[in-house]
Chains A and B, each alone.
Chain A
Amino acid sequence: MLLEVSDLSVSYGEREIVRNVNVSLDEGEVLAIVGESGSGKTTVIRAILGCLPNEGRVSGGKILFEGKNLLGNIPAEWCRLCGTKATMVFQDSGSILDPIDRIGSQFIEYIREHSSLTKKEAAKAAEDMLRKMHLSNPENIMKSYPFELSGGMRQRVGVAMAMFFKPRLLLADEPTSALDVTTQAQVVKEMMEICQQDKTAIIIVTHNIGVAAYMSDKLIVMQAGEIVESGRTDEIIARPQSIYTKELLDAVPQVGGKSYVS
Chain B
Amino acid sequence: MKGKELVHRLIQMLITLFGVSLLTFSLMYLSPGDPVEMLLEVADTIVSEETIAETRAQLGLDKPFHVQYFRWLAGVLQGDMGMSYSAKMPVADRLWQSLPGTMVLAASATVTMLLISVPCGILSAVYRNRPLDYLIRGISFLGVSMPSFWVGLILLYVLGLKLRLFPIAGGEVSFDRMILPTLTLSIAMAAKYTRQVRTAVLEELGQEYITGARIRGFPMHKILWRHVLPNACLPLITLLGLQIGWLLGGVAVIEMVFSWPGLGKMAVHAIEMRDYPLVQGFVLWIAVLYMGINLLVDISYTYLDPRLKKGGC
Q: How far is the CA of A79 from the CA of B231 in the complex (A)?
A: 22
Residues of A within 8 A of B220 (CB): 75
| Interface membership of A260, Cβ < 8 A | no
- Scan B21-62; emit 1 where CB is below 8 A from any A CB, else 0: 000000000000000000000000000000000000000000
B310: interface (CB < 8 Å): yes
B306 within 8 A of A: yes
- For the complex, what is the distance from the CA of A87 to the CA of B305, rounded to whole Å? 29
Q: Which of A11-19, A65-73, A95-103, A226-234 contacts B (4 or more CB under 8 A)?
A: A95-103
A79 to B208, CA, bound (A): 17
Q: Given A99-B231, A100-B304, A101-B230, does the pair A83, B208 have CB atoms closer than 8 Å?
A: no
Give the interface centre of B218, B234, B312 by most chain A CB atoms within 10 Å. Answer: B218
Q: Which of B192-234 contact A (CB under 8 A)?
A: 206-209, 211-220, 222, 226-227, 230-231, 234
Does the CB pair A100–B306 fall under 8 Å?
Answer: yes
A99-B231, A148-B312 known; A161 vs B307 contact (CB < 8 Å)? no
Once bound together, how far apart are the Cα atoms of A54 and B210, in whole Å?
12
Q: A109-B226, A148-B310 are in contact. Are A95 and B209 (CB under 8 A)?
A: yes
**A84 interface residue, CB < 8 Å from B?**
yes
Q: Does A51 contact B (CB under 8 A)?
A: yes
Tell me whether A88 and B215 are in contact (CB under 8 A). yes
B212 and A97 contact, CB distance less than 8 A: yes
Q: Which residues on the B side are within 8 Å of A147 (C-beta)?
A: 306-307, 312-313
Which one of B219, B306, B313 contacts A76 once the chains associate, using CB atoms below 8 Å? Answer: B219
Distance (Å) between the CB of A63 and the closest chain B CB?
15
Min CB distance A87 to B, Å, is: 7
Q: Which of A79-99 contact B (CB under 8 A)?
A: 79-84, 87-88, 90, 92, 95-99
A95 and B208 contact, CB distance less than 8 A: yes
> Are B209 and A99 within 8 A (Cβ)?
yes
Q: Are A84 and B214 in contact (CB under 8 A)?
A: no
Chain A, residue nearest B207 (CB) = A95
**Assembled-state Cα–Cα distance A148/B312 (Å):** 8
A172 to B207, alpha carbons, bound, how many Å?
19
Most buried by A among B215, B218, B305, B312: B215
* B214 (CB) vs chain A CBs: closest residue: A51
Interface residue? A113 (CB, 8 A): yes
A49 at interface, CB cutoff 8 A: yes
A132 → chain B, closest Cβ, in Å? 18
Q: Could you say which of B209, B215, B231 contacts A83, with CB atoms under 8 Å apart?
A: B215
User: B217's contact among A82, A101, A148, by CB below 8 Å, is which?
Assistant: A82
A186-242 at interface with B (beta carbon < 8 Å): none
B residues apposed to A, CB below 8 Å: 206-209, 211-220, 222, 226-227, 230-231, 234, 304-307, 310, 312-313
Q: List 18 A-B contacts (CB under 8 A).
A: A75-B220, A79-B219, A82-B214, A82-B215, A82-B216, A83-B215, A83-B216, A88-B215, A95-B212, A96-B212, A97-B209, A97-B212, A98-B213, A98-B230, A99-B307, A100-B305, A100-B306, A148-B312
* Top 3 A-B pairs, shortest CB-CB distance: A96-B212, A83-B217, A83-B216
